[in-house]
Amino acid sequence: MLYYLFDYLEKEYQLPGASLFGFISFRAVMAILFSLVIATVYGKKVILLLQRKQIGESIRDLGLQGQEQKAGTPTMGGLIIIMATLIPVLLFADILNVYVILLIVTTLWMGVIGFIDDYIKIFKKDKKGLKGKFKILGQVVLGLIVGATLYFHPQVTMRDHDKSIITKQYEVEHVKGMDIKSTRTTVPFIKNNEFDYGNLIAWAGEGAKDYVWLIFIPMIILIVTAVSNGANLTDGIDGLAAGTSAIIVFTLGIFTWVSGNIIFSDYLDIMYITGVGELLVFVTAFVGALVGFLWYNAFPATVFMGDTGSLTIGGVIAVIAIIIRKELLIPVLCGIFFAESISVMLQVGYFKYTKKKLGEGKRIFLMAPLHHHYQKRGYHESKIVTRFWIVGIMLAIITVVTLKIR
């Protein structure tokens, strides 16, 4: 692993980036460059391989403009994203870091679930793919693994706040915060912006804190499942999921950088999470992979990511947000995913309700998810994607602003 080579050279010869965080930043830059090269150069080879194997998308007739031209476009392009992410991570990241391990497991786990789904659709000629209950089961198991690791693993700690105490001699003494186990998270837009999941069962007495995991882990499962499915629903037109996800992950990269830097985290009064700086290498590699994939996925797409990509993207985004304790920002930052999911739930729920009450199902949208509604209204998919990206950028700015506005 090049990580150990760089680590040795830096310590032996005092290379630029003498601080640990400077060293991390250098490796993060290398990771994004490598992932971009892998996704753009070798991505083309993967696309040609998919074409030779006739691994093409079978298109359902939804009555959408330009739909017929997409038939036969190679799918399973999520393999490009996974490859372009993991290779730089294995080269430049400390793979013994618990957070890096969690994200590698997430990438492979969700990638396998998505691959099985795409395989069934393409080779078994079953357009439904993997049954929904098995997808949900896979997401729940991943959420269980992530939640249990973050709660029980001894290396998952955060720095407690510095305190000032008055000694017996009536002198003020400043005490540095210690690394502690905690289930605190960040609540946006309020002054005292930290919330402890333990407060939800504090009413049960002092001993109840030993059972916080009964709330914490199910919450993690819910977040992983929701974001993964949201990304999956967003992947409906060329470049939408990849571009939106790149904006989201870049924003999470800013929070990762700040949360892993003790100086900036102290200045901005946010949680300093021990060891999370190493996550920056994974995040930058993931951004590079998404941007490189977008080169081929932008309209008109020469490859689709399939569930191999969309489920992986959603799972990784959820786990990054959870690790850096910014999961409660997801409804804002991942607003596009949220809107797509809500549109489907409203459409299905309203249709079933009106069919039961009136005997005939009615719809709120012309078609769900939301991007198909705008297609039905006659908007070209390039315009839809561009405007969704703009909204995504606006949401990202609002999310970053929460660092100081409370």
**Annotated binding site for Mg(2+): which residue ranges?**
232, 307
The C-alpha angle 232, 237, 238, rounded to 5 degrees, equals 110
Distance in angstroms (rounded) separating the CA atoms of residues 300 and 289 = 19
CA distances from 75 to 135, 315, 394 (A): 19, 19, 30
- Residue 48 DSSP label: H
Q: Write down the H helix ranges in 359-402.
A: 370-376, 381-401
133, 153 in Cβ contact below 8 A?
A: no
Query: Quick one: residue 275, left, alpha or beta (phi over 0 = left, psi -120 to 50 = alpha)?
Result: left
3-state secondary structure 98-121: HHHHHHHHHHHHHHHHHHHHHHHH
331, 361 in Cβ contact below 8 A?
A: no
Q: Which strand (E) or helix (H) includes residue 175?
A: strand 172-175
Q: Which residue has the tokens 């990241």?
A: 93
297, 234 in Cβ contact below 8 A?
A: no
Distance in angstroms (rounded) separating the CA atoms of residues 305 and 111 = 11
In a 3-state reduction of DSSP, which class is residue 167?
coil
Q: Which residue has the tokens 């330009």?
A: 66
Q: Which residue, 179, 195, 140, is CA-closest to 326? A: 195
Write out the DSSP string of 255-293: HHHHHT-HHHHHHTT---BTTGGGHHHHHHHHHHHHHHH
Q: Write down the H helix ranges in 127-185.
A: 132-152
Residues of the binding site: 232, 307
Distance in angstroms (rounded) separating the CA atoms of residues 198 and 51 = 52
The Cβ of residue 151 has, within 10 Å, a number of other Cβ atoms equal to: 16
Distance in angstroms (rounded) separating the CA atoms of residues 127 and 328 = 35
